[in-house]
Amino acid sequence: MLSVKTDLLAALAVELEALQPGAASKAAFESPKVAAHGDFACTAAMQLAKPLKLNPRQLGETLRDRLMLTPVFQQWVAAVDIAGPGFLNITLKPEAKQQIVIEVLSAGAQFGYQPDRQQAMLVEYVSANPTGPLHVGHGRQAALGDAIASLFQTQGWRVHREFYYNDAGVQIQTLATSTQARALGYKPGDPQWPESAYNGEYIADIAADFLAQKTVCADDREFTGSGDKDDLDGMRQFAVAYLRHEQDLDLKAFQVKFDHYYLESSLYTSGKVDAAVQRLVAAGKTYEQDGALWLKSTDYGDDKDRVMRKGDGTYTYFVPDVAYHITKWERGFHKVVNIQGTDHHGTIARVRAGLQAAGVGIPLGYPDYVLHTMVRVVRGGAEVKISKRAGSYVTLRDLIEWTSKDAVRFFLLSRKPDTEYTFDVDLAIAQSNDNPVYYVQYAHARICSVLAAWGGDKVSLVATDLSPLQSPQALALMLLLAKYPAMLTAAANDFAPHDVTFYLRELAACYHSYYDAERILVDDILVRQARLALVAAVAQVLHNGLAVLGVSAPQKMLKEAP
């Protein structure tokens, strides 16, 4: 059907060009809001009526008559009706919709993918400070980043996934002093306990392992505790390695992988921060005032100028961010997407201002940002606010252990990123149609069960005669399958993986309706093969969509949904 749509659009473009030179660009189809109005809608007649000084409805009738004389419209279109002031409502023949089944089965896991653009892009996400376990907010960011990266891969981008470790600055020093306080035998609430210290029980675990002279291994480092309570720098390095290892375990449980871990500290040791500052100074975009170095960020739309270097000689937190993004650009990533919490909103203007002021050729609006809100967790009807281990928040690993990796991913992706979300633990483990991830996975498993009962070779279904697929339920299912590639493109363009969850739920519902209306394993061989081909195509698209979200497509479920 995708090839049919392409051919129909080409014929439409030719006829529009004949009506008015240059009008071929207006060849486009929309989806009618009411299914009874047809399969495609076209507004070209209304767009051309004014420049041609014609009545739009009469122009629509002329365009319809011309289109129905073309071979491609005669082959695939059942009717073109004129509605309202000049809408063209196009109804396809069943055989046109049936083409999508062959297209899905032929493309398999690549259905919906666009050709390789041979362009690289970078998606940065999670980027958590190595000061504690990953919390549920990090989980939302991990799910978003991973799904957005996968969406862009379907659009032909060569995607690089990156985690930026903030392993320098005040928070790391606080981690070290917190660990030392625990090593000295203090705990939260004691008079000697530092006011800014981290209170979670994990700090006690770090201190105990440091004193026991254990060795910890993270993704790129290994460190052995000295056991010396006065070794503050050793505690800092040990604690960072310990928590990076813990975060590695969190990400492994969530099945999130990165191509590269970039260290904030490397920006300082390599001189990239100083180089970025010198660029800004040399460009005349800074000034000294009150003992501090300021960036003229108001020249680039910021609401006020920003301090870059404080009076004590240390840099404010957005300066290494500017240096980091210059490295992204220099590494060839001319499209970059950052997934961050809404608390980072204030940094967007100043980072972009710094990049413009640096004068390295970075365009306006670089990088793109997707900001997400935090997540409330409800269990047993009550909000869960703390983790026994973390002390002040629910960890990602808690949520995975209470439910599953699949449920956490699907649920955290089921709303727009900037929408408040409440994660219902009880719903996430419910084996019912009310649980959206279960509902979608069950549709896939249900089809796999039918195919297993049939026992034939699915490859043979590609050559099936699909003419028996004529029922309203079958036609609706095929039309929905054809919308999958365009949905992926729109979801990528809008950074909207929630669109994929909505589509999958709609496809699952459409399949369940079809299954209830028509028995698949009937005695008539032609009808059986056609229906098997249709449901096999549905299973493939369900599998592909779930893969974009990082959710599995099981072939069996523990319990059948009621």
Question: Which of 92, 108, 139 represents a domain boundary (last residue)?
Answer: 92
Model pLDDT, residue 218? 84
Q: Facing residues of 382 across strands?
A: 379
449 with 545, same domain: the answer is yes
Does residue 353 fall inside a structural domain? Answer: no
Q: What is the CATH number of the domain that holds 81?
A: 3.30.1360.70
Q: What is the pLDDT of residues 275-308, one digit of tens each?
A: 999 999 999 999 999 999 999 999 998 999 999 9
Instruction: Give the Cα separation of 345 and 148 in Å (integer).
Output: 19
How far apart CA 494 and CA 488 sit, in angstroms, is 10
0.95 exceeded by pTM: no
What are the residues whose beta carbons fall under 8 Å from the beta carbon of 400, sequence distance 6 or more? 253, 254, 408
Q: Are 39 and 87 found together in one domain?
A: yes
The helix, strand and coil proportions of the chain, stated in percent and rounded to the nearest 5, come to: 55, 15, 35
Q: Are residues 457 and 502 in the same domain?
A: yes
Residue 188 in domain: no
Give residue 118's pLDDT.
Answer: 96
Does residue 41 lie in a domain region? yes
Q: How many domains does the chain have?
A: 3
> Are residues 420 and 523 located together in one domain of the fold?
no
Largest CA distance in the chain: 89
Classify residue 395 by its DSSP letter. B
- Domain presence at residue 491: yes
CATH code of the domain containing 470: 1.10.730.10
Where does a domain end: 74, 92, 110?
A: 92
Closest by CA position to 532, among listed 454, 441, 427, 438:
454
335 secondary structure, DSSP code: E
Same domain? 38 vs 56? yes
Q: Are residues 395 and 498 in the same domain?
A: no
| Residue 334: inside a domain | no
Are 399 and 443 in the same domain? no
Q: Is residue 40 part of a domain?
A: yes
Query: Same domain for 437 and 541?
Result: yes
By three-state DSSP, how is residue 294 classified? strand
Instruction: Collapse the DSSP code of 135 into the 3-class scheme (helix H, G, I; strand E, B; otherwise coil) and give the result.
Output: strand
CB 497 within 8 A of CB 339: no
Domain that holds residue 47: 2-92
Q: Are residues 483 and 536 in the same domain?
A: yes
pLDDT of residue 317: 87
Q: How distant is the alpha carbon of residue 269 from its chain centre?
A: 33
Report the distance separating Cα 389 and Cα 375, nearest Å: 18
**In-domain check, residue 445:** yes
10-residue mean pLDDT profile of the chain (562 residues): values are 92 96 94 87 94 93 96 96 93 96 97 97 95 93 98 98 90 95 95 92 95 91 94 95 93 96 94 96 96 96 93 92 98 97 91 96 96 95 77 87 97 96 96 96 97 94 96 96 97 98 98 96 97 98 98 83 39
469 and 505 fall within a common domain: yes
SS3 78: strand
Is 450 in the same domain as 544?
yes
Residues 458 and 485 reside in one and the same domain: yes
The reply to whether 246 falls in a domain is no
Last residue of a domain, one of 407, 429, 451: 429
